[in-house]
Amino acid sequence: MISTQQQFHTNQDNNFDAIVIGAGFSGLYMLYRLREAGLRARAYEASADVGGVWYTNRYPGARCDSESIIYNYTFSEELLQEWTWTSRFPEQAEILSYLNFVADKFDLRRDIQFNTRITEAHFDEMNNRWMLQTDDGTSLSAKYFISGVGMHSTTNIPNFKGLETFEGDWYHTGQWPHEKVDFNGKRVGVIGTGSSGIQAIPVIAKEAEHLTVFQRTPVYSTPARNHPYDPEFIRETKANYSEIIREIRKSRGGSILRDYNDRSAMEDTPEVRLREYEKMYEKGGLGLQATYKDLLVNEAANETVSEFIRSKISARVKDPEVAEKLMPKYYYAAKRPALDTNYYETYNRENVTLVDVKSAPIESITPKGLRTTESEYELDVLVFATGYDSMTGSLFKIDIRGKGGMSLKEKWADGAKMRTYLGMAVAGFPNFFLIANAESPAALSNMPVVIQQQVEWIDDCIAYFREHGVDTIEAKAEAEEDWSKHCKEVADKTLYSKGDSWYTGANIEGKPRGFLIYVGGVAAYRKKCDEVAAKAYVGFSLSSARETVS
Ligand code: N01
C-alpha cells in the first residue's frame, strides 16, 4: 500500500487544496464553489469534455425525466436569466449545451483535466493528505478529496457468453458514439427496457428494418407529454425563480411540479380515483406517483395505480398477448418508473417484436445474433440498454483507502452494512466527501437540487473547519450508524425497497444487495444536514495538526 508522500513523488504543482472527480453537474459546481472560496482546486474527468452522463448518454431519444426549468443550477440568478430551455423535457444535446454554457460562463475548464481517470486515492495519515494517482501515472495530493463520479456512470454489460464473436456492431446506451449510428435497413436487437430502453426503442424502431426487444422485466411507463415551451411561460418562470426555488426546497422530490397531496388513495371511490389518475396521466411527467400520499407506502393503494397503468398499456397495445407481456406485476415505482413518447404504440408496428427473456433467458450472443433458450435471432446491431452498476460502481473502480489502509470497497463489501454519514462522509475516510451517491435522496429526486445542496453543504463545512484551524474532519462511526439506521427505517416503511432493480443492487450479478437511498425527501434531508451544520458539525470528529477533538 502506498501511504507516504515520498512514494508518490508528487511535485509541487500537483499538490492541491482539493481534488474533485468528475465534470458533470456535481463536479462542475463543486469546483466553482471551492475556487470561489479561494482554494486551489482541480477536477479530473475521464471524458474528453464536461457533461458527465450527459456527455456519454447520446443514445437516440435520450432526454431527462425532470422538467427543464428545474433541471438546472439555481445558485446564480444571472445564469437563470441567461439560459433558456426550449422544451418541457430537455434532450441530451440541450442539457450538454447547458453544462458547456455553465463551464464557459464560469471559466471552469482551466481547472479541469479531461481524459484522465483517478485510479487510486490513499489517505496519508502522517501528513493528513489524500495521495492520488491518475491513469497516466501522475501523482497528486490534496487536503480534500471529493467524489462527483455520478450515480450512473459505470455501464453494466451483462456477461453474456459469445459477445466477442458477434459479427455486427454493438453499443451500450451509456457509452454511445458521437457520430450517428445508422439503423437503416438493419435488424436491430435492444436488450433492456428501463428508462434508457424505453426512450431508445421508439426512435430506433422508426429507422430499423426490424427491431427485436429483449425484455426481462417490464417497466411502468406513462406518457411524458413533452412539448416546446411557450415564450410567455418562460418569461413568467424567469420572473418567478425565487419562488420556484423556495418551493423546490420545501418539496419531497426536488420539484414544484409533482408534490405529494395529503389524501389516501383508499379514501376515494374507484370512480373518483380513476378521475384523479386520468388527470395526472393527461398532465404527463412523473406526477402520477404523487396523486395520493400513500401510493408508495400502502400495498392496496399502490395496486390501484398499478392497475390503472396496466389498463393504459392494454389500451395502447393492440395485440393482447403482447400487452400482457408488457404489464408489470410488481409495486409501481418500487423500480424507477419511466416516461415515454409512443413506447407502447411501438409494439403495434409491423417491424417490432417483443421477446420475453425472463421465461426464455438469453443463452449467448452468437456471431449472427442472439440465442435464447427457445430461439435464435439474427441481428446486425445489438444495443445494450442494460443500465449501470449504480452508485458504488464508479467509486469501486478507484482504489480508495482511508485510515489504516482501509479500502472503501472492502468497507462497503456488504451492501446491507454500507454506511455513510448524511450520504456525504464515511468513517475512516477523513476529508473525503461524496456527492449524489448512497444514502442521500439524489436517486429519487430531481438531481440538480440535491447536488447543489450537497455541494454547498460540503463547501460550508470545509470553510468552517479551515476557519477553526481544523486539519481533518471525519464522520464518527456512531453518527454513520445512526444515519444508516434512519435511512433504513424510513425506507422500510415504504414500498421502494421491495423491488429488484439498481435501487437495491439486484441488477448486477453478484452485487451485494442493499437499499441505499434516503427516501425521506429533499426537504427533510436539507433540514437534517442544516441541523448538523448548525450544531458545529455534530457527528464529526475533528483534528488539528496537534490534537483530536471529539
Ligand atoms: O437502466 P435500468 P437504464 N438480461 O437498470 C435489463 C437513469 N436514467 O439505463 O429489470 C436481460 O433501469 C433490465 O432488466 P431487469 C434513471 O435513474 C434516467 O434504463 O433487471 N435484461 C432492465 O430492463 C434510471 O432508472 C433517464 O430484469 C437485462 C434494463 O436492462 C437509471 O438511469 C434516462 C440484463 C436496465 O434498466 C438506469 O436506467 C435513462 C440481462 N442480463 C436513465 N441485465 C431519464 O431521466 C439488465 N437487463 C429519462
User: Which residues have C-beta within 8 Å of that of residue 419, sequence separation ≥ 6?
Assistant: 426, 427, 439, 477, 480, 481, 483, 484
Strands, sheet with 210-215, edge to edge from the N-terminal-most edge strand = 169-172, 381-384, 187-191, 210-215, 352-356
What is the Cα–Cα distance from 443 to 230, expressed in whole angstroms? 30
Buried b / exposed e across 28-53, counting CB within 10 Å, b at 16+? Answer: bbbbbbbbeeebebbbbbbbeebbbb
Angle between helices 522-534 and 241-250 (to 10 degrees): 90
Ligand 1 centroid to Cα of residue 548, in Å, is 45
As for ligand 1, residues whose beta carbon falls within 6 Å of it are 63-65, 152, 158, 173, 191-197, 199, 216-217, 336, 357, 362, 385-388, 501-502, 507
What is the Cα–Cα distance from 423 to 529, expressed in whole angstroms? 10
Work out which ligand 1 atom sits closest to the CA atom of 193.
23
> What type of residue sits at position 98?
Y
Nearest alpha-carbon partner for 508 in 377, 365, 396: 396
Work out which ligand 1 atom sits closest to the CA atom of 65.
45
Ligand 1 centroid to Cα of residue 183, in Å, is 22
Work out which ligand 1 atom sits closest to the CA atom of 191.
21
Ligand 1 centroid to Cα of residue 502, in Å, is 8
| Structure letter (DSSP) for residue 388 | B
| Structure letter (DSSP) for residue 137 | S
Q: In this structure, which residue's CA is closest to atom 46 in ligand 1?
A: 386
| Residue of 70, 195, 504 with the most ligand 1 atoms within 8 Å of its CB, for mutation | 195
- Contact between 529 and 422 (Cβ < 8 Å): yes
Q: Is the pTM of this model over 0.85?
A: yes
Ligand 1 centroid to Cα of residue 192, in Å, is 6
Ligand 1 centroid to Cα of residue 24, in Å, is 20
Instruction: Say how many C-beta atoms besides its own lie within 10 A of residue 439's C-beta.
Output: 28
What is the Cα–Cα distance from 17 to 41, expressed in whole angstroms? 6
Work out which ligand 1 atom sits closest to the CA atom of 507.
20
pLDDT tens-digit profile, the chain (550 residues): 443 343 444 566 999 999 999 999 999 999 999 999 999 999 999 999 999 999 999 999 999 999 999 999 999 999 999 999 999 999 999 999 999 999 999 999 999 999 999 999 999 999 999 999 999 999 999 999 999 999 999 999 999 999 999 999 999 999 999 999 999 999 999 999 999 999 999 999 999 999 999 999 999 999 999 999 999 999 999 999 999 999 999 998 999 865 567 899 999 999 999 999 999 999 999 999 999 999 999 999 999 999 999 999 999 999 999 999 999 999 999 999 999 999 999 999 999 999 999 999 999 999 999 999 999 999 999 999 999 999 999 999 999 999 999 999 999 988 778 899 999 999 999 999 999 999 999 999 999 999 999 999 999 999 999 999 999 999 999 999 999 999 999 999 999 988 888 998 889 888 888 889 999 999 999 999 999 999 999 999 988 765 554 4
What is the Cα–Cα distance from 335 to 195, expressed in whole angstroms? 10
Ligand 1 centroid to Cα of residue 219, in Å, is 9
CA atoms within 13 A on the CB side of 181: 25
> What type of residue sits at position 430?
P
